[in-house]
Structures are given as C-alpha cells and as structure tokens.
C-alpha cells in the first residue's frame, strides 16, 4: 500500500490522501473578491485527485493584502463566492482549506508581473504596518510601528476571518506565519526590535503568533483542523532558527494547532537559500520528531517516488505541492498510477484513466 495515498485523519477530518495544494497567490481578485479564475484554478486541483486544496493567502484586513489584487475575507461580502468554490472542491472528494494572512510590511506592493515594489497611496496603495519601522527592501514601503490597539485589531481580524471562512465552507484553516509577512516579522529578531511585550525575548516575539492561533482555535470547530505555516529558518545569520521553530511548534500544539506547515525564508532580502530538490523536507522532519506534532513538507517536491518516501519514512504527514501542480494539475492521479495506488478519478474522466502497466 502506498503511504502517500493512505488517508490522513486530523481531529474529525479525514483527507483521502497525503497530497495537498500549497497556497499560491493568484493576484486576480478585485476588492478581495474571489471570481471564476479562483473557481477554475482551485477546482482543477480537486478534480486532479489531491486530498487538500488550500487557498492563497487571504487577507483578514484590507491593509493586510500583499497587493491590491489579493483575496480577502474581511467582509461578509466575500463569503458567497468562496462558498461556491468550497462546494465544488468538496463535491470532488477533496477538502477545502484557507490560509488566513496579513502581509505586514510586505503589503501594498505590485503584482509580480507588474514589476513588484511599492504601490503608492496615490496609485491605490495604503499605509503598511509592522513590528518595527524597517522596510523589507528599498522599494518597499516603510511600515508604521504597530500600537497595542493595532495588535488587538489584528488578532480580532484573524478570528473574524476564521468565522467567515467557516461560513464559506472551509474545513481547514491555516494561519500564515511565514515568508516575511506580519506574524513572521514579529517572530524574527532581525525584524522585531520592539521593547514591549511583543519584542525582545523569544517568549515576547512568539506572543502574537500564539495569540492569533489561540483566537482562531477559539472560533474554529473542535472537529476541524488548524494549521500554522512557518518559515522554519530565515537563511540569515542571527535570525529565526530551526531550534526556535521546534520550540514554537510545541507551544502551538499546546494551543490546539494540529499541523505545522514547514516552509522557510522570505523575511529578509539578504537571505541565502540552499535550494535543491526537497531542501525544506528536513525542517518538517525535525519539527515532527522533536515537537511531536504532525507536519507538512513543501519545496521542490516533484516526483511521485520522492513524495512517497517523505511520508513512508516519517519525515512529514502531508506533502504540499505548488509549482509542480501548476504544471501538472492532475499530478496526484499520475502519481497514483506510478505508485500502483488507486487514484480518485472524476467519473467524467474515467475514459482517460491510466491502467496498470
């Protein structure tokens, strides 16, 4: 039996296999609203046989968007179209998840194909927030240092976003604390130089992430899993480390977090990443082993045998793919064939089902 195609149960939810879609920003929303692009984009992965489809980073506040074209969940008006998408995903036998996010100092930027960099307020941008007043890079906006009231508002926005996500039909919630966005900025000693209860010591720097996770867990159903995505290392001297990630994972698990989605980098422009196939898998394996919490592995996982080995060897409980699924939306069905497992082909596509050789 294939380990990759064995079911995974977290709380009261069972995924049909261990393959998931990692959040991938589409920069295709207007005023935070999902549209037909998102339906077709996410729906294709569900028909392609994956177990879990996680939406792109979905902003809990308008100023928490990476770009003006990001998805949002700060308004009840966002719920109906998202519900249409989750209904379709679930009808295909997959599970819909949502990544709740706030971009912090990396907000108010142009879409990648528009060149990136800051969007000025005159061109539709907005003031950005962060733990400290240091911009991500020279062409990024300078953040306003968050007050206590700002922090409270963000925590409440994550909880409200989770309530709307539930109304929209999502069955998994993921808190985005990676890639240099707001929560990651608070975690890192390289980007958090505060001298209050949210800066300085490790305990203070993890406080906001823990408070957000607790707030989301409080409104998220007991039977529904909660994930947190972290950057397990910053790839920069003096920054957040894998050892820090293990300690954070222990704290988050105690708060009711069910899985740590183990990515890396993105918080500082001077990072030096050692990119190679499966380069982030050891982070998931270490956190799983030492924090005793389920993990997801991500990053240049492209081959069926590679993904199978990750799960079979106990390095992670779930494998999340991104760019490889953009290239091959039915990767899971092809992987099932390669591994001799049974893939969940839609009835409409059975005529094309791969047969054992």
pLDDT of 356 reads 61
Q: Which two tokens mark 348?
A: 């409409």
Q: pLDDT grade, residue 274 (50/70/90)?
A: confident
Answer yes or no: are the C-beta atoms of 212 and 257 closer than 8 Å: no
- pTM exceeds cut of 0.85: yes
**The architecture CATH gives domain 8-352:** Alpha-Beta Barrel (3.20)
Point out which residues pair with 266 in neighbouring strands.
none
Active site residue 279: no
Q: Stretch 125-151: mean pLDDT, rounded? A: 96
Q: What is the pLDDT of residues 275-302, one digit of tens each?
A: 899 999 999 999 999 999 999 999 999 9
Question: In the predicted model, is pLDDT for residue 107 greater than 60?
Answer: yes
Burial of 89 (0-12, 13-18, 19+ CB in 10 A): buried
Q: pLDDT grade, residue 303 (50/70/90)?
A: very high
Catalytic residue among 181, 198, 279, 349: 181
Q: What is the pLDDT of residues 221-260, one digit of tens each?
A: 999 999 999 999 999 999 999 999 999 999 999 999 999 9
Average per-residue pLDDT in the chain?
96
Question: In the predicted model, is pLDDT for residue 357 greater than 60?
Answer: no
Over pLDDT 70: what percentage of the chain? 99
Question: In the predicted model, is pLDDT for residue 205 greater than 80?
Answer: yes
Q: Where are the domains of the chain?
A: 8-352
Q: What is the pLDDT of residues 19-45, one digit of tens each?
A: 999 999 999 999 999 999 999 999 999
């Amino acid at each position: 039996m294939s380990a990759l195609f064995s079911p995974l149960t977290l709380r009261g939810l069972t995924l049909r296999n261990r393959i998931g879609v990692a959040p991938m920003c589409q920069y295709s929303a207007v005023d935070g609203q999902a549209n037909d692009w998102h339906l077709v984009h996410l729906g294709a992965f569900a028909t392609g046989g994956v177990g879990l489809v996680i939406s792109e980073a979905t902003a809990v506040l308008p100023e928490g968007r990476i770009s003006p074209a990001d998805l949002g969940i700060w308004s009840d008006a966002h719920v109906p179209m998202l519900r249409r998408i989750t209904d379709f995903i679930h009808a295909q036998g997959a599970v819909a998840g949502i990544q709740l996010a706030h971009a912090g100092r990396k907000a108010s930027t142009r879409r990648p194909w528009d060149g990136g960099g800051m969007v000025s307020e005159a061109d539709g941008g907005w003031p950005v927030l962060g733990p400290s007043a240091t911009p991500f890079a020279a062409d990024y906006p300078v953040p306003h240092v968050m007050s206590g009231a700002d922090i409270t508002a963000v925590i409440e926005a994550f909880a409200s976003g989770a309530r709307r996500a539930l109304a929209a039909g999502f069955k998994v919630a993921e808190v985005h604390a990676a890639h240099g966005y707001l929560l990651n900025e608070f975690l890192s000693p390289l980007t958090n130089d505060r001298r209050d209860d949210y800066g300085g010591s490790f305990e203070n720097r993890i406080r906001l992430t823990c408070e957000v996770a607790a707030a989301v867990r409080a409104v998220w159903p007991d039977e529904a899993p909660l994930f947190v995505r972290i950057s397990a290392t910053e790839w920069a001297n003096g920054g957040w480390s894998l050892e820090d990630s293990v300690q954070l994972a222990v704290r988050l698990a105690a708060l009711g977090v069910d899985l740590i989605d183990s990515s890396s980098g993105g918080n500082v422009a001077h990072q030096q990443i050692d990119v190679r196939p499966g380069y982030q898998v050891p982070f998931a394996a270490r956190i799983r082993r030492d924090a005793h919490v389920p993990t997801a592995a991500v990053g240049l996982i492209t081959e069926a045998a590679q993904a199978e080995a990750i799960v079979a060897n106990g390095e992670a409980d779930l494998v999340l793919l991104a760019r490889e699924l953009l290239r091959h939306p039915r990767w899971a069905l092809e992987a099932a064939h390669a591994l001799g497992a049974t893939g969940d082909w839609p009835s409409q596509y059975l005529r094309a089902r791969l047969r054992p050789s």
